[in-house]
Structure formats: structure tokens, C-alpha cells
Amino acid sequence: MATIDGLPPLREVIRAHDLVAKKQLGQNFLLDLNLTAKIARQAGDLSGCDVLEVGPGPGGLTRGLLAEGARRVLAVEKDARCLPALAEIQAAYPGKLDVINGDALEVDVLAHLTPPIRVVANLPYNVGTELLIRWLTPANWPPFWESLTLMFQKEVAERIVAKPKGDHYGRLALLAQWRCEAKIVLHLPPEAFTPAPKVHSAVVHLTRLPGPRFPADEKILSRITAMAFNQRRKMLRSSLKGLGPDIEARLEAAGIAPTARAEEISLEGFCALAREMAK
């Protein structure tokens, strides 16, 4: 397979460094460099941006990002076995790639990045959703990133972009869409990866908005949606009764039927209820 740079094909890199994907680290390696470059392009023009990549593994997406012109890439990799392969990429792109051997849940990435910043990653399956939620719920908005271009299992991707009354609609959709534009931009079959996972994957692109689509207190909104979707098949007057004895009146004041269920309520409706509960 032709490469997008002067470095060896990824299969050779993996063989040379004896890199076998570890299930406990949620690893699945992308070996098609044309595909990794295509994923990088979904993030837009990277020439004026620092890019945060989590879980680069042998560096397939890293090479895609650099080949597509990223100003600089910060790659956070927990698996020390991958560091020699990433060092070869550093040598091919002097001053363009910084690598941190650490846990992305613990590393202070902002100490190593210069705005504007975009996040592009084939996230390890076992920490992907937790990282996304952290990036969507910073202490202050707007967040440090301009956009997130992330690969997930297809089911998780569908939960991020879901609309009301769908099977995948829930807290993750509300969290993502409250302050972002979210869309699926690529679908990938299992055979695109080594080892091939049992599920399909998808790339989601999220672009931050200047502020929320609808005003609401984040903590109140989070509590309401947690209670509502933890018992998603129950009527809201039942699932939210812990919010107070007047919950039916509050729901009606927010324009929501007390007999409605969580999956029937739009983001705007939940925000209206959060404002009502804040009174």
C-alpha cells in the first residue's frame, strides 16, 4: 500500500515493533493511511491549529494529521510499547509532534497546547465516552477546543447525534447538542481495524457554539436529565417526583405534559424545565 509520507506502511511498523493491540487498553489499530488522512480532513484546515490526539497507537492517524498539514500534534499515549513507532514519526516531522506517555484522563494537556486547538482521535473504546463528557462539561464555556473529531463505536456515535423519540436519544445527545453542532461524518466497517472489532464504528464531528442553544443552569439541567433518563420509560411526573411535590405544575409551566416520557422531550423542553426549577 502506498504511504502518505516517506515512512513505512503501518503493517511494517507494527511488525517491526511487535505491536499487538491490547484489549484491556481498548486498542484497535487503523492501518489504512489513506483512511487516516480522510479522517484528519474531517477536522477541517489544521494548518493554523494545534491538534490533541488521544491514543495514537502506532501513529496511523498521527501521520494523517501531519500529512494534512497540522501545525503541531500533541499525542497522548498510555502504552509505552508504541513510543518507538511514534519517535520515528517525530524524526520525520521535526518540531511538529510532541508525545506524552500518560493517561489522557490525568494529563494536563493545556500546558502543552497553544490555541486554536482541535481534538482529533480514534479514542480507546474503554475511555472514549468519559473523555467526551469531560470535554463537553468544562467549568467555563467556551471550552479550550474549537472542534472534536472523534471515532466511536457506531452505537455511541448515534447516541451523540440522536433526536427525540429515537431509541438512541438520551443524556449524551442533550449534552452534546446543547452547546455544539454534532454530526456523523464517516462510517467505518470492522475490517478497517486490526484486530477487527465486533461492531461498526463512526466518526463524529462536534463544533462548539459560542453559548448554549437555550438558557439553563448546567447543574439543574444535568440533574433533571439524569433522573428522567434513568427511568426513561416512566412518565415524567413519576421519574421526576424527587424534584419536589409540585413537579406536575412545574412540568406544565414549562410546556411539558406530566404524562410524557423522557425520550419525547426536546432539548428546548428540558432547558425550559431547568429554568422553571431554578425559580
Pick out the residues of the known binding site.
28, 30, 55, 77, 103, 122
- Binding positions for S-adenosyl-L-methionine are 28, 30, 55, 77, 103, 122
Q: Residue 185: name the closest of 142, 152, 146 by CA.
A: 152
| Ramachandran bin of 26, using left for φ above 0, alpha for ψ from -120 to 50, beta for the remaining angles | left
- As a three-state string, the secondary structure of the chain is CCCCCCCCCHHHHHHHCCCCCCHHHCCCEECCHHHHHHHHHCCCCCCCCEEEEECCCCCHHHHHHHHCCCCEEEEEECCHHHHHHHHHHHHHCCCCEEEEECCCCCCCHHHHCCCCEEEEEECCCCCHHHHHHHHHCCCCCCCCCCEEEEEEEHHHHHHHHCCCCCCCCCHHHHHHHHCEEEEEEEEECHHHEECCCCCCEEEEEEEECCCCCCCCCHHHHHHHHHHHHHCCCCEHHHHCHHHCCCHHHHHHHCCCCCCCEHHHCCHHHHHHHHHHHCC
β-partners of residue 125 are: none
State whether the Cα torsion 140-173-234-251 is positive or negative. positive
Tell me how far apart the terminal alpha carbons of the chain are, to the nearest angstrom. 62
Counts of helices then strands in the chain (DSSP H, E): 11, 9
